[in-house]
Copies of this chain bind each other. A is one copy, B any other.
Amino acid sequence: MANADKSSGALYLDDLRIGQRFRSGTHTVDEAQIKAFAAQFDPQPFHLDDATARDTLFAGLAASGWHTAAITMRLLVDGGAPLAGGIVGAGGEINWPKPTRPGDVLRVESEVIEVTPSRSRPDRGMVTVRSETLNQRGETVQVLTAKLVVPRHP
């Protein structure tokens, strides 16, 4: 776990290198969390009710992909990507190869894949970070390749 001390250990654009890796802590997902998120943001049967979910593509209760994304963000913010100025995403690509299930213990492994200083703004740059969200069996439930705005050393 690379729990960042934002006051001292946070990384600026100048500190980042292609291939640099970060690991988050873990978060355990339960049925109540899955249903609560779904009730608010993605009220579809396969995210709300296990019995109904069995007859769907998901073959059982599954978290909304956006719930997996939100949990991933929390794990990154809590120290999975210790960036100066916080984690500010402009966008990215997201894929959910497998669903998140009740009882899953999620963690995030991230890797810097591109570092681009801004031409127009000398105080910042863009970093592309590929974050894999894995469950307790090492299966990938989400791949997020995000473009993040990162400040340069003051």
What are the residues of chain B within 8 A of A90 when measuring CB–CB? 95-96
User: A107-145 toward B: CB 8 Å interface, digit per residue (1/0)?
Assistant: 000000000000000000000000000000000000100
Interface string of A11-49 (1 = CB under 8 A from B): 000000000000000000000000001001111111000
Contact with A64, one of B37, B42, B43, B73 (Cβ below 8 angstroms): B73
The answer on a CB contact under 8 Å between A44 and B87 is yes
The size bracket of the interface on A is 20 to 34
Q: Does A152 contact B (CB under 8 A)?
A: no
CB-based nearest B residue for A70: B41
Residue of B whose beta carbon sits closest to that of A95: B91
Q: Write the residues of chain A forming the contact surface with B, with a CB cutoff of 8 angstroms.
A: 37, 40-46, 56-58, 64-66, 69-71, 73-74, 77, 85-96, 143, 149
